[in-house]
Amino acid sequence: MTDATISRPPQRSPAHRQLDVFVGSWRARGESFAEGQQGDESRASAAPWTSEESYEWLPGGFFMLHKWEAKVGARGFMGLEIIGYDDAAGGYFTRMFDNAGNHPEYVATVSGNVWTFSEPSTRATVTVSADGNRMDLHWELRQGDGEWLPLSDRTANRVR
């Protein structure tokens, strides 16, 4: 065998390790504004949001699994998400699946302690506290005319 025929196993990059900030169990509280939302009264339909969430590395450490079980008003909302980093594309990606049949694909970026997740109709800003024990999550929904309205505001605290 020559060096040319031996392939090196993939290596985790510093970009993969940046996702470590999410690893663990989280309890989130806040409000959802999705039901009956109007542009001029975008927060009038607020419903309480509570959730238990977890993030863990899949074997190999290249992809992270995010699972959640939430109560939004009287409705149950649950799902999972796979988060990863694409070395070739030079960026983060996610794919979500939930019990309402949604399956969006997000592009994610990070700047300091602020993560953004976006796709054409929804986007989120997640700000991680300096000590890594709190996340402030602000989700928005794009209306047909292009206006972004608040979808939910939550605070997640790490469960010890």
Domain range holding 17?
11-158
The CATH number of whichever domain residue 81 belongs to comes to: 2.40.128.20
Q: Which residues contact 99 (CB under 8 A, 6 or more apart)?
A: 76, 77, 78, 79
pLDDT band per the 50, 70, 90 thresholds, residue 40: low
Residue type, 146: G
Domain membership of residue 63 (yes or no) is yes
pTM score of the predicted model: 0.87
Q: What is the rounded CA–CA span in Å between residue 142 and residue 140? A: 7
CA angle 48, 124, 137 (to 5 degrees): 45
Residue 66 β-bridge partners:
55, 81
Domain count within the chain: 1
Chain segment 93-141, per-residue pLDDT in tens = 999 999 999 999 999 999 999 999 999 999 999 999 999 999 999 999 9
What tokens does 131 get? Answer: 């000590």
- DSSP letter at 33 equals -
Domain membership of residue 49 (yes or no) is yes
Quick one: pLDDT at residue 11? 82
Domain membership of residue 1 (yes or no) is no
Domain membership of residue 41 (yes or no) is yes
Distances (CA, A) of 51 to 27, 32, 67, 77, 158: 6, 12, 10, 9, 12
pLDDT band per the 50, 70, 90 thresholds, residue 147: confident
pLDDT band per the 50, 70, 90 thresholds, residue 5: low
Domain membership of residue 71 (yes or no) is yes
Domain membership of residue 100 (yes or no) is yes
Domain membership of residue 3 (yes or no) is no
Domain membership of residue 6 (yes or no) is no
